[in-house]
């Protein structure tokens, strides 16, 4: 399989779905000639034209509102929110309209739209352009939240998201766009709601999402040299959450660490831990379940403080070692 970047994998999924289904169109700020803030849609305007790659005013509320309306009348819009932080401007359209329409109309109306958004820190973009708001979104019934960590997962899950009849918030971490991985040519799908065991292990289960997956994988490789074998589980989607894969892994290893970049308070790590606590896996635990998350602070602009505000590879390595050696 060819190696391509995360951004190229997303572009490939968009292009293939636009060829396959004429109802699919793109919608957002600077997505045409400029190719999007992170280059994902570059070249698609030339191929598909202005009717299917639509530039919008700088109004996230208008983008999501218009996408909701288009989806209701049979189109399949893929809207881009330049920075995840700005999803907060769309809460009325997303939460009170798109998420509830299918329920309120007894399934007679659906909202098949995807909202792509770039989240996370690490680029020096400071407090208003660096947030990880996945946990806010998973609280809303009617919305699916997808959180891929690899180019392979990004393409397969974006394809599935475009074909899904429900609103999907598709979260892309800024630091992943240039990462490379093997991706098959041609279309394929990955089911929404199915986790992936990225690394087999026997001593501890580490559930990590998005940018924390490569960091956890790197930490696990180092710890393997000390005889500590960590199993790395990537949920890939946070709503619906694949509790079965997670609990089966915890039952095998007897230990659990959940890692995410978002602030710890109210973060999705708590949901994972609560799910394990109420499952068959709880009786197999040999140590308290732990979470490693971002500090409860706005992301600083200062480079050193920005790095300190979210878990890094060495933090994950240290936390795994503590849990396995019963030093928590």
The β-bridge relationship of strands 290-294 and 256-263 is parallel
Q: What SS3 state is found at 179?
A: coil
- Distance, in Å, from the CA atom of 173 to the CA atom of 208, rounded to the nearest integer, reads 13
Going by C-alpha positions, the residue among 170, 128, 165, 168 that lies closest to residue 148 is 170
Residue with tokens 């074909």: 163
How open is the CA angle 199-172-48, to the nearest 5 degrees? 125
Point out the catalytic residue in the list 129, 139, 260, 280: 129
With b for 16 or more beta-carbon neighbours within 10 A and e for fewer, the 46-57 pattern comes to eebeeebbbebe
CA torsion angle for 239, 111, 86, 291 (degrees, to 10)?
0
What are the CA-CA distances from residue 260 to residues 184, 234, 291, 303 (Å)?
Answer: 28, 11, 8, 19
> Is 173 tagged catalytic?
no
- Distance, in Å, from the CA atom of 302 to the CA atom of 31, rounded to the nearest integer, reads 29
Both tokens of residue 110? 């659906």
- Distance, in Å, from the CA atom of 319 to the CA atom of 7, rounded to the nearest integer, reads 31
Q: What SS3 state is found at 207?
A: strand
Strand partners, 27: 54, 79
Asked if 25 and 63 count as a contact pair (C-beta separation under 8 A), the reply is: no
Q: What SS3 state is found at 150?
A: coil
Give catalytic residues, as residue numbers. 129
């Amino acid at each position: 399989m060819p190696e391509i970047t995360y951004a190229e994998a997303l572009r490939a999924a968009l292009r293939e779905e636009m060829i396959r289904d004429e109802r699919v169109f793109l919608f957002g700020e600077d997505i045409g000639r400029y190719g999007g803030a992170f280059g994902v849609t570059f070249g698609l305007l030339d191929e598909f034209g202005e009717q299917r790659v639509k530039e919008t005013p700088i109004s996230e509320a208008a983008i999501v509102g218009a996408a909701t309306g288009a989806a209701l009348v049979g189109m399949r819009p893929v809207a881009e929110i330049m920075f995840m932080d700005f999803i907060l401007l769309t809460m009325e359209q997303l939460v009170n309209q798109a998420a509830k329409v299918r329920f309120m109309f007894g399934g007679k109306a659906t909202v098949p739209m995807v909202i792509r958004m770039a989240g996370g820190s690490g680029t020096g973009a400071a407090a208003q352009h660096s947030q990880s708001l996945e946990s806010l979104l998973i609280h809303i019934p009617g919305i699916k939240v997808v959180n891929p960590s690899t180019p392979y997962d990004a393409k397969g899950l974006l394809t599935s998201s475009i074909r899904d009849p429900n609103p999907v918030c598709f979260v892309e971490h800024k630091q992943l766009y240039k990462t490379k991985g093997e991706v098959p040519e041609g279309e394929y799908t990955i089911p929404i709601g199915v986790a992936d065991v990225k690394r087999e292990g026997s001593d501890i289960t580490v559930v990590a999402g998005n940018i924390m997956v490569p960091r956890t994988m790197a930490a696990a490789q180092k710890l393997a040299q000390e005889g500590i074998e960590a199993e790395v589980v990537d949920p890939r989607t946070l709503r619906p959450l694949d509790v079965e894969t997670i609990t089966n892994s915890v039952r095998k290893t007897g230990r659990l660490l959940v890692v995410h970049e978002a602030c710890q308070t109210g973060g999705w790590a708590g949901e994972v831990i609560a799910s394990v606590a109420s499952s068959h896996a709880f009786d197999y635990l040999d140590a308290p379940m732990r979470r490693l998350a971002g500090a409860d602070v706005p992301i600083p602009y200062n480079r050193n403080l920005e790095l300190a505000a979210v878990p890094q590879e060495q933090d994950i390595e240290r936390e795994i070692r503590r849990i396995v050696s019963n030093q928590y």
